[in-house]
Chain A
C-alpha cells in the first residue's frame, strides 16, 4: 500500500542553525503534500504545502522542496528557534482517501 516515511526519527540542532527534515513517499500519483508541526499534547498544525506542479515553495522561515523523480520531500527551517522544537510530519494525498502521514521527526533545538 501507499506509505510516507521520514528519514530520521530525531534531529538535534543549535539555535540559529538551519534545519532540514526529509521525507519519502511511495505513490508517484500523489499530487499534494503537506508539512505539519505537532507540539506536545496538541493536534498537528499546518506549516506549508506544495503541489506536484511545483518543486519549491517558501513561507516564513520555512521552505519545502519536492523532488518527484526520487519521490522525496524536505522541509527547511531557517534560523531555527527553541519554539520550533516539536514533531514534524509530512503527509501526502492518498488515492481518493485522506492524507497519508509519515511517522514524524522530533526536532530538538538547544540554546
Chain B
C-alpha cells in the first residue's frame, strides 16, 4: 500500500532563517506531488506541484521554492523565512494531475 511521510510535524523558526520540509511517498512510482499551505481557519492554497523529477510548477509567487531530487521525494524550502510564512504545510500525492490526492499529516510552521 502507499504511504506518505512528512516531517517534521511542528517547527518553530526565527524570521530570516532557512527552511527545509521533506516529504516522501512509498509504494508507488512516478506520483504527482504537491505542496499546499493552509492558514488558520482557511482553505488549502496550492503552492507547488510536480509531475516528475526536476519538474516543478509554481502556483503562487512567494518566498518559497520546491525541488524534487528523486521520484518520490519532494522538498519545500526557503532561504529566509518571513512571519507571513507561518501556517500548516501539507504534502500530497496523486496518480495523475487533478486526481484524488492523498495527504501527509502536515507540518505546523511558526515563524517568530
Whether A and B are associated in the same complex: the answer reads yes
Seen from chain A, the residues whose Cβ lies within 8 Å of a Cβ on chain B are 32, 34, 36, 41-46, 49, 89, 91, 93-94, 96-104
Interface of B is mostly: strand
Q: How far is the CA of A44 from the CA of B104 in the complex (A)?
A: 8
A32 and B97 form a contact (CB under 8 A): no
B43 and A102 form a contact (CB under 8 A): yes
Known A-B contacts A32-B98, A41-B108, A44-B90; the reply to A97 vs B103 at CB < 8 A is: no
B105 and A43 form a contact (CB under 8 A): yes
Q: How far is the CA of A46 from the CA of B95 in the complex (A)?
A: 14
Chain B residues touching A, range: 20 to 34
Report A-chain residues with C-beta under 8 Å of the C-beta of B100.
Answer: 34, 46, 49
Report B-chain residues with C-beta under 8 Å of the C-beta of A41.
Answer: 106, 108
Closest to A100 in B: B46
Known A-B contacts A89-B43, A97-B57; the reply to A32 vs B99 at CB < 8 A is: yes
Interface assignment of B102: CB less than 8 Å from any CB of chain A: yes
Report B-chain residues with C-beta under 8 Å of the C-beta of A94.
Answer: 98
Report A-chain residues with C-beta under 8 Å of the C-beta of B92.
Answer: 43, 98
Report B-chain residues with C-beta under 8 Å of the C-beta of A102.
Answer: 43
Supplied contacts A34-B101, A44-B103, A99-B101, 15 more A-B pairs, CB within 8 Å: A41-B108, A43-B6, A46-B102, A91-B101, A93-B98, A96-B98, A98-B32, A98-B34, A98-B59, A98-B92, A98-B94, A98-B98, A101-B43, A103-B43, A104-B42
